[in-house]
Structure 1
Amino acid sequence: MMFGWLSIVRLGMVQMALGSVVVLTTSTLNRLMIVELALPAVLPGALVALHYGVQITRPNWGFLSDSGGHRTRWIVGGVATLAAGALLAAAAIPVLQTAMAVGLLLSILAYALIGFGVGASGTSLLALLATGTHPDRRAAAAMITWLMMIFGIAATAGIVGALLDPYSPARLLRIVAGTCGAAFALTVLATWRIERGLTPRPAPEPMPFREGMAEVWAEPRARAFTGFVFLSMTAYFMQELILEPYAGLVFAFTPGQSTTLSGAQNGGVFLGMLLVGISATALKLGALRDWVIAGCTGSGLSLMAIAALGQTGTGLLVPASVMLGFFNGMFTVAAIGAMMALAGEGREAREGTRMGLWGAAQAIAAGFGGLAGAAAVDALRHGLATESAFGLVFTAEAVLFFAAALMAARIMDGPRRAPATGGKAHV
């Protein structure tokens, strides 16, 4: 007994709820701190980094969901914690204006709650997908859940942007409360009795977290895949903070044109995800490893093209960015599908712990990659021309993607071994 398509879509609704709340804290509240409150940009940047940092606890959440069973309770509890953190973060905005120290303490607590909530719910959600999705449907499941998350982010950003004018702290709090309430209600409805039809899981042997984590870390493939996740995600996030400044400083893009560039890149991500989900599931074209390798290699080539365009002054930045998004989307869906497959390998009833380990690697890489890319550009611009500084960083990012492709070729199963990736107990 495994998930049908309706159950997969229901879990995608949870991912959509997660994205709709997180985007409030990483975009709307970020802008309010910098523009309306005139605070240094480093403050919201540090708070967002904090929310990534506390997600190093993801293995703990995965281990708890493995040990206690009923992953939905951890999903619902995590979304409740996330919603509480988002409400507190919104409430801290006017406090920052009148009592900076108190507002800062409230914000630190809020963003820590946000990180814990995302870690608990996101890790348990992926573990549930891994244990309940048939191997043939994993690429499509990854595509569905991530596209729904992107939709939730885009829809929430658009609706909140329209409702927030004219801005007032009270209006902000009402909007955030409404969004969080809707996200929590959607999560409860989407997960209601969703585990009831699954094949019962064997109870794991009771043991402390350290021992359970040590067992997973001792598995060569789990350990190698952790390195792959960190390497590829560092490459993925290095361009996040520098592509739009690159467009403005080197290609003289206006703020509106830079926003359009970002939208075009996300359109490419959507198409790449759609291609892998349909090809790998409906058309049975290629193993997930092949799509991961193609996505990483294509991302690296696109970044080298973006770097070269700055040196030549050729005005093809938008199509090159679309191609980068396309291969990023291809890589993302295939890597998540492979992650679901690998989560079922090794010792039984440890899917959540493995997902947590890889989620922690992703979160650390997201924070490290973004900061490393921005810091490297700042440092290089002191001694090099602007286009050369950006070009070197994009090239370094491309090298990381090529290294990730080589690593994927070594540690992931090819077509001949594909049936073994289904896991032993639950898929």
Structure 2
Amino acid sequence: MTTLSWLGIVRLGLVQTGLGAVVVLTTSTLNRVMVVELALPAILPGALVAIHYALQAFRPAWGHGSDIGGRRTPWIVGGMTVLSAGGFLAAIATATMTSHVALGIALAVAAFCLIGAGVGAAGTSLLVLLAKRTNDARRAAAATIVWVMMIAGFIVTTACAGHLLDPFSPSRLVMISGCVSLAAMVLTVIGVWGAEPSGATVAAPPAQNRSASFRTALLQVWREQQARRFALFVFVSMLAYSAQDLILEPFAGVVFGFSPGATTKLSGIQHAGTLLGMAMVPLIGALYPRSRGNLQNWTIAGCAASALALAALAAASMVGPSWPLRETVFLLGLTNGVYAVAAIGSMLALVSRQGEKREGVRMGLWGAAQAFAFGIGGFLGTLASDAAHAVLKAPAVAYASVFAVEAGLFVVAAGMAIWVHRAGASQYADHAVFDDAKAAIAGGAR
């Protein structure tokens, strides 16, 4: 199978753009409408988003389904269809809440189940296809391109929706959601068109992929030392990555006295740093080709640097307004971006390392670990903040303790990244010994 050109990688990135557009409209815009315009409890959109993350537990099963069929495109298109339908139904549900709250909530639960299923099915197979069709030298750049295009989907959708929603009306919300879902499907079809061989020419999946049950396939992947360790690394590192999301703006408001507008701008500074950090890894790889394949080193460095940035935020909590907060938040975004793109690039590199089998289950396992970490991280970050406030009484000390714990998680994650790399080295050494033994036996037979 030929590898993707740069244009092909960008085209696959269009799928992530569409995915990001639908997801951000449901998790951000609809969240605000429920809480502000409809005056509903904030726990409602929080619970709906939790449903979306909970459905990610089925990612390995959807990956197994694409392994059995041997093709990823049907799962990408099918998943995006389910996601787009779920996004549209979520808008209808929100509009229904204006007159029938109970019916609207019931529709919203169904909609967010569809959203979770669609994200899991499409996202897992998209990453497997990207991994299989991208050569080693381009994986860091491919990860950057795809994730930047997803963030672009966030930015464009929120900007356009924010402009078109004024003056707000339920019917206008439904119309905008329908247009976003339709655009996402168009981008998906353009993105996957010709991205993998047609049904007549695609290679048949291995016999064990077709016959093994999902439980057997998942157990086989879990027994792979490197796959198991990488899943645990993804969970711990993404827990640290996501735990500060919901407390950074309140922290800036309470400790530094920032206004709501200033805290929003602070988030923009962090996102700008993240994009720059994501771009740094492939850019330095292009300037210094020897660093291009050392994704595990970039991952370790990104985790360690993120720990230092969070430690600086903990110090900022104690020092107060004289601390250069904007610069520190930019540094946090930069280091998080380096970590994220290196971890995703490593994921693309490792998924096929065991050979042409179980790629979907392997990627699904890692995707489920990431989704669980994001779902739990945001909740635990706010819970830890509230608990620290209750116990320590002083807000500055409370925030400092939470940021320090997150820094510690990133230090643990850096150690786990080394742990993952050692498992791979040991595994490849075992394979080499086995191959030498086979060659010796074959030579003796001759």
* Equivalent position of 2:5 in the other structure: 4
1:5 to partner: Cα distance: 1.1
Shift, 1:285, TM fit: 4.5
Deviations 1:85-135 (A, max 9, x none): 011100011222222211111010000100000000000000101111101
* Paired position in structure 1 for 2:63: 62
Matched, 1:299 2:300: no
Corresponding position: 1:346 with 2:346: no
Deviation at 1:37, TM superposition (A): 0.4
Is the counterpart of residue 402 in structure 1 residue 408 in structure 2? Answer: no
Equivalent runs, 1:376-387 vs 2, <5 Å: 376-384=384-392, 385-387=394-396
User: Which residue pairs with 1:331 in the alignment?
Assistant: 339
In structure 2, the partner of 1:233 is: 238
Q: 2:289 aligned to 276, 284, 289, which one?
A: 284
| SS of aligned partner of 1:381 | helix
Determine the structure 2 residue equivalent to 1:254. 259
CA distance in 2, matches of 1:145, 1:266: 16
- SS where residue 348 of structure 1 aligns? coil
Structure 2 CA distance, aligned partners of 1:282 and 1:196?
33
1:308 is paired with a residue of what secondary structure?
helix
Q: Is the 8 A contact 1:10 1:191 kept in 2?
A: yes
Which residue identity lines up with residue 294 of structure 1 in the other structure? A
Instruction: Tell me if structure 2 keeps the 8 A contact 1:290–1:414.
Output: no
Q: 1:411 aligns with which of 420, 425, 445?
A: 420
Does the alignment pair 1:203 with 2:211?
no
Structure 2 counterpart of 1:368, from 371, 376, 387: 376
Show the counterpart of 1:270: 275
Task: Describe the superposition over 1:340-381 as per-residue Cα deviations: whole angstroms up to 9, x where unpaired.
Answer: 111012253211111000000000000111100100111111
Distance 1:210 1:166, change over 3 A: same
Asked if residue 23 in structure 1 is aligned to residue 24 in structure 2, the reply is yes
Structure 2: how far apart are the matches of 1:281 and 1:68?
A: 36
- 1:97 aligns to what SS in structure 2? coil
**C-alpha separation between the residues in 1 aligned to 2:270 and 2:421?**
28
Q: What does 1:125-274 align with in structure 2 at a 5 Å threshold?
A: 125-196=126-197, 200-204=202-206, 205=208, 206-274=211-279
Separation in 1, partners of 2:103, 2:425: 59
Instruction: Using structure 1 for the length normalisation, give the TM-score.
Output: 0.95
The answer (yes or no) to whether the contact 1:2–1:197 under 8 Å persists in 2 is no
Distance 1:22 1:217 in 2: 30
Change (3 A) 1:279 1:416: farther
Q: Does 1:357 align with 2:365?
A: yes
Aligned residue for 1:160, secondary structure, equals helix
Q: Which amino acid letter does the alignment assign opposite residue 205 of structure 2?
A: A
- 2:269 maps to amino acid: A
Q: Is the 8 A contact 2:225 2:423 kept in 1?
A: no
Aligned CA-pair RMSD: 2.0
Distance 1:414 1:289 in 2: 12
The Cα shift of 1:310 comes to 1.2
Q: Distance in 2 between matches of 1:324 and 1:357?
A: 27
The letter for the 2-side match of 1:262 is: S
Say if 2:83 and 2:118, in contact at 8 Å, map to a contact too: yes
Which of the two has higher C-alpha Rg? 2
Q: Which moved more, 1:390-399 or 1:342-351?
A: 342-351
Structure 1 segment 299-318 matched on structure 2, within 5 A: 299-313=306-320, 314-318=322-326
Structure 1 CA distance for aligned equivalents of residues 124 and 285 of structure 2? 24
- Which whole-Å CA distance do the structure 2 matches of 1:245 and 1:18 have between them? 28
Distance 1:284 1:231 in 2: 30
Deviation at 1:414, TM superposition (A): 11
Q: Which runs of 4+ in 1 moved over 4 A?
A: 197-202, 413-417
Secondary structure of the equivalent of 2:168? coil
1:101-116 counterparts in 2 under 5 A? 101-116=102-117
Q: Is the 8 A contact 1:16 1:149 kept in 2?
A: yes
Q: Is the 8 A contact 1:21 1:180 kept in 2?
A: yes
- Check conservation: 1:241, 1:373, Cα contact below 8 A: yes
User: Is the 8 Å Cα contact of residues 202 and 349 (structure 1) preserved in structure 2?
Assistant: no
The answer to whether residue 399 in structure 2 is matched with residue 390 in structure 1 is yes
Q: Distance in 2 between matches of 1:225 and 1:416?
A: 13
Q: Does the CA-based 8 Å contact 2:90-2:107 persist in structure 1?
A: yes
Query: In the TM superposition, what whole-angstrom CA distance separates every residue of 1:370-421 from its partner, at most 9, and x where no partner exists?
Result: 100100111111121001111101000000001100111121279999x99x
In 2: Cα distance, 1:232 partner to 1:185 partner: 34
1:106 and 1:130 map into 2 onto residues whose CA distance is 36
Q: What amino acid is the match of 2:398?
A: A
Once the 2 structures are TM-superposed, how far is the Cα of residue 14 of structure 1 from its aligned partner?
A: 0.6
| TM-score normalised by L of structure 2 | 0.91
Gaps (5+ residues) in structure 2?
430-446
Question: 1:424 is matched with which residue?
Answer: none
Task: Pick closer, same or farther for the CA change 1:183–1:295 going to 2, 3 Å.
Answer: same
Query: Any conservation in 1 of the 2:236–2:413 contact (CA below 8 Å)?
Result: yes
One-letter amino acid matched to 1:269:
T
Does the 8 Å contact 1:143/1:333 carry over to 2? yes
